[in-house]
């Protein structure tokens, strides 16, 4: 190059700073508040999606409990109280846990694919913003939507179950005082011996002295109570009856039966405790957050919403309950890696088992069990792997 040509070559133009003099951070992988707010508004403006989220998280529990409130007010003898401990545990483990994951995953799949399906991905790339920042901005934006919705629905369930709880505890169709110690329950049972013998369930040996006493107590038409006396042997209504036992023998038998039922009775309450509600709420929120993150990564990786939503629904509703029941030889570790089974490991004591897996009151309820460390690794692994795959696809996708 000649000296004349070099003299007329303009020098490189330095990067133009922002008007306020601050450096340009558009290349940073850390999303700023404006990016998060934009993603939040983008999701919130999708009316169909928001209506679906509100209906599932808030509408279904509210309508169900409202129906029970009205039915109990109109016909209290035919319909039990709308709230209480049993209703709470059924709603949390049977409805909110599963539905919370599904709607959170649906929101995540939408957040992970909305830019592609609406043709906005190229416009976001040309702004110069980091693609990783664009992906990470969707995480707080989506959680800011799903976490409050799940919390509102759960609050409705808690409020009704506490304020509309029954005034008497019905245990095996017998009204029993609440919160009795084991000796107190045995004393109460001695004063209500016929009710306890006829309604409480118990197992005894075929040669037990208790068998002759319980069969001498008339229950419903003069037949003896239904009682298991060993494998394949059952004495019940219509079976042979024994000569009447003395009142002392009947009371002693009722005390024994109450003692056998105490572990089950001690887990029954009129309304859920505050600690149970707090732990259950945090457990549901955790599972919903994991569902959102998995859906976000899967949809970003696949570049669409419909198929990831279907896959996650099948995983939650079909595969997890099916594979949680019976261990499959040589595949049991793969079954333990299911996200739903790992989440039920942290299910609060006092709730019924969701998929037949996990622990309840510290007791393993499923044939497939895992350690706490393994369950934590499974949950963290699902979040990290799917987040990494979704972010990688976001960064490498052609604009």
pLDDT > 70 fraction of the chain, expressed in percent and rounded? 79
pTM for this entry: 0.77
Determine the Cα–Cα distance for residues 15 and 24; give it in Å rounded to an integer.
9
Residues 245 and 156 in one domain: no
Residues 227 and 307 in one domain: no
Closest CA to 181 of 263, 250, 126: 263
Residues 108 and 60 in one domain: yes
Is the pLDDT at 326 greater than 80, yes or no?
no
Burial of residue 132 (number of CB atoms within 10 Å: 0-12, 13-18, 19+): middle
Residues 119 and 183 in one domain: no
Whether 204 maps to a domain, the answer reads: yes
Last residue of a domain, one of 236, 265, 294: 265
The average pLDDT across 244-249 equals 77
Determine the Cα–Cα distance for residues 110 and 178; give it in Å rounded to an integer.
47
Closest CA to 37 of 145, 152, 147: 145
Is the pLDDT at 105 greater than 80, yes or no?
yes
Whether 392 maps to a domain, the answer reads: yes
Last residue of a domain, one of 246, 265, 284: 265
| CA-only gyration radius of the chain, Å | 30
Q: Who has greater pLDDT, 249 or 138? A: 138
Burial of residue 147 (number of CB atoms within 10 Å: 0-12, 13-18, 19+): middle
Structure tokens at 233: 């042997």
Contact 375, 345 (CB under 8 A): yes
What rounded mean pLDDT belongs to the chain?
80
Q: Who has greater pLDDT, 261 or 300? A: 300
Residues 118 and 158 in one domain: yes
Lowest mean pLDDT among 54-58, 105-109, 235-239, 377-381: 235-239
CB neighbourhood size of 385 (10 A): 12
Domain that holds residue 243: 169-265
Residues 247 and 227 in one domain: yes
Enter the DSSP assignment of 319.
Answer: I
Structure tokens at 175: 């009204």
Q: Total domain count for the chain?
A: 2
Contact 141, 31 (CB under 8 A): no
What Cα–Cα distance (Å) separates residue 382 from each residue in 51, 279, 314, 374? Answer: 28, 22, 17, 12
Whether 348 maps to a domain, the answer reads: no
Q: Which segment, 123-132, 185-194, 324-333, is predicted with the most confidence on average?
A: 185-194
The runs of H, that is alpha helices, within the chain are 3-8, 33-44, 47-54, 60-74, 85-91, 97-117, 121-125, 131-136, 138-163, 182-191, 193-199, 209-215, 247-265, 274-302, 306-314, 320-323, 332-336, 339-344, 372-396
Determine the Cα–Cα distance for residues 125 and 34; give it in Å rounded to an integer.
16
Distant-in-sequence, close-in-space partners of 380: CB < 8 Å, separation ≥ 6: none
Residues 315 and 239 in one domain: no
Residues 255 and 275 in one domain: no
Residues 277 and 388 in one domain: yes
What Cα–Cα distance (Å) separates residue 204 from each residue in 223, 229, 235, 250? Answer: 18, 5, 11, 15
Whether 320 maps to a domain, the answer reads: yes
- Residue 363 pairs in a beta bridge with 360
Enter the DSSP assignment of 369.
Answer: -
Whether 74 maps to a domain, the answer reads: yes
Last residue of a domain, one of 232, 248, 265: 265
Whether 160 maps to a domain, the answer reads: yes
Contact 353, 333 (CB under 8 A): no
pLDDT tens sequence across 264-301: 777 777 888 899 999 999 999 999 999 999 999 999 99
Cα angle 248, 253, 256 (rounded to 5 degrees) comes to 130
Residues 92 and 146 in one domain: yes
Residues 209 and 286 in one domain: no
Is the pLDDT at 358 greater than 50, yes or no?
no
pLDDT tens sequence across 113-159: 887 777 676 666 666 678 888 889 999 999 999 999 999 999 999 99
The 3-class SS string of 244-301 reads: CCCHHHHHHHHHHHHHHHHHHHCCCCCCCCHHHHHHHHHHHHHHHHHHHHHHHHHHHH
Whether 342 maps to a domain, the answer reads: no
Whether 4 maps to a domain, the answer reads: no
Residues 277 and 296 in one domain: yes
């Amino acid at each position: 190059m000649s000296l004349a040509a070099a003299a007329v070559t303009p020098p490189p133009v330095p990067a133009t700073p922002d008007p306020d003099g601050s450096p340009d951070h558009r290349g940073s992988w850390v999303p700023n508040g404006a990016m998060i707010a934009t993603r939040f508004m983008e999701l919130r403006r999708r009316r169909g999606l928001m209506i679906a989220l509100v209906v599932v998280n808030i509408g279904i529990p509210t309508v169900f409990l409202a129906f029970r409130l009205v039915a109990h007010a109109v016909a209290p003898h035919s319909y039990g109280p709308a709230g209480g401990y049993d209703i709470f545990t059924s709603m949390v483990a049977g409805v909110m846990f599963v539905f919370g994951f599904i709607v959170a995953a649906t929101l995540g799949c939408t957040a992970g694919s909305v830019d592609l399906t609406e043709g906005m991905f190229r416009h976001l790339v040309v702004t110069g913003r980091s693609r990783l920042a664009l992906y990470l901005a969707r995480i707080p934006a989506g959680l800011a939507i799903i976490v409050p919705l799940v919390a509102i629905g759960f609050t409705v369930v808690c409020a009704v179950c506490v304020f509309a709880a029954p005034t008497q505890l019905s245990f095996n169709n017998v009204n029993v005082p609440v919160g009795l110690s084991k000796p107190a329950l045995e004393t109460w049972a001695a004063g209500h011996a016929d009710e306890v013998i006829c309604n409480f369930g118990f197992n005894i040996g075929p040669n037990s002295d208790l068998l002759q006493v319980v069969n001498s107590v008339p229950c419903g038409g003069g037949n003896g109570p239904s009682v298991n006396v060993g494998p394949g042997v059952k004495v019940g209504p219509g079976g042979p009856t024994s000569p009447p036992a003395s009142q002392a023998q009947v009371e002693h038998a009722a005390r024994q039966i109450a003692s056998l039922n105490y572990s089950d009775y001690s887990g029954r309450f009129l309304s859920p405790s505050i600690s149970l509600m707090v732990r259950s709420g945090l457990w549901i929120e955790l599972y919903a957050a994991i569902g959102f993150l998995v859906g976000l990564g899967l949809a970003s990786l696949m570049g669409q919403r419909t198929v990831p939503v279907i896959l996650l629904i099948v995983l939650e509703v079909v595969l997890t309950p099916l594979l949680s029941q019976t261990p499959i030889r040589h595949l049991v570790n793969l079954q333990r890696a299911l996200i739903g089974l790992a989440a039920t490991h942290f299910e609060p004591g006092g709730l019924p088992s969701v998929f037949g897996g996990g622990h309840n009151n510290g007791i393993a309820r499923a044939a497939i069990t895992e350690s706490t460390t393994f369950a934590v690794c499974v949950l963290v692994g699902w979040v990290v792997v799917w987040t990494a795959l979704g972010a990688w696809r976001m960064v490498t996708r052609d604009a």
